[in-house]
Amino acid sequence: MRAWERTDDGVRARFEDAEAAMFENLADQLKLLHRAAAQGAVEFADPAVQRLYPDGYSDPEEAKEFKRFSLPQIAESRERAQDAIIVGLVTADRKEGHRIVSVGDDEVDDWLRGVSDMRTVLSSRIELGTGGQNADFDEDDLEQFSAVVDWLGFVQASLLEAL
């Protein structure tokens, strides 16, 4: 991937096909997670979910009530943010081995938020290490997650620089 460049009505960047596929896959997963969250069908004890949907009050009762009325809307808006990324990657200008992705000024916010969500989930998995609640992942997976978190950090930071 190369750094984002400013265009007349947004930003544009080149993604290798493999990067775009991985990025799209992450957006799909986050989209499903947010959709499940909107329906109350996620495991709130999962540290990654806790990080994505933190308490809005330090008092547990107030936090619970706040979550009850605020979470569905927050989750739907985050699902839409992942949609924006998916649409951007799918409709990109396809070249040999790479694609040119264009993001309009009105979609930048969704992209930045969507990338933040991906980094949050992957970082939670890395922090947990292997075993326990994280038994699905081994050392190699976590090393790969770490590389993806850095890559997503570049995607986000260079987008912010291009604005």
Partner 1 sequence: MSDTHSLADSETRTALGHGWSTTVWDDPVNLMPYVTYVFRQYFGYSREDAEQLMLQVHNAGRASVASGDREQQERHVAAMHGYGLQATVERI
Q: Name which of 39 and 73 has its Cβ closer to partner 1.
A: 73
Q: How many chain residues bind partner 1 (CB under 8 A)?
A: 30
The window from 9-17, 37-45, 87-95, 152-160 that contacts partner 1 (CB under 8 A) reads 152-160
Fill in the DSSP letter of residue 46. S
157 binds partner 1 (CB under 8 A): yes
x/- map, 45-64, partner 1, by CB under 8 A: ------xxxxxxxx---x--
Write out the two tokens for 135.
Answer: 């038994």
Contact residue for partner 1 among 112, 128, 142, 162 (CB under 8 A)? 112
The window from 1-9, 87-95, 98-106, 115-123 that contacts partner 1 (CB under 8 A) reads 115-123
CA–CA–CA angle 107, 12, 86 (5° rounding): 50
Distance CA 101, CA 120 (A): 23
The dihedral sign for the CA sequence 151, 114, 142, 92: negative
Q: Name which of 16 and 55 has its Cβ closer to partner 1.
A: 55
The window from 9-17, 82-90, 131-139, 150-158 that contacts partner 1 (CB under 8 A) reads 150-158
Write out the two tokens for 116.
Answer: 């933040």
Element (H, E) at 5: strand 5-7
161 binds partner 1 (CB under 8 A): yes
What are the distances in angstroms from CA 54 to CA 42, 45, 48, 49, 163? 13, 11, 10, 8, 29
Q: Name which of 17 and 65 has its Cβ closer to partner 1.
A: 65
Give, to the nearest 10 degrees, the angle between helix 108-128 and helix 139-162: 150
Which residues would be at the binding site for partner 1 (CB under 8 A)? 51-58, 62, 66, 70, 73-74, 77-78, 109, 112-113, 116-117, 119-120, 123, 127, 153, 156-157, 160-161, 163
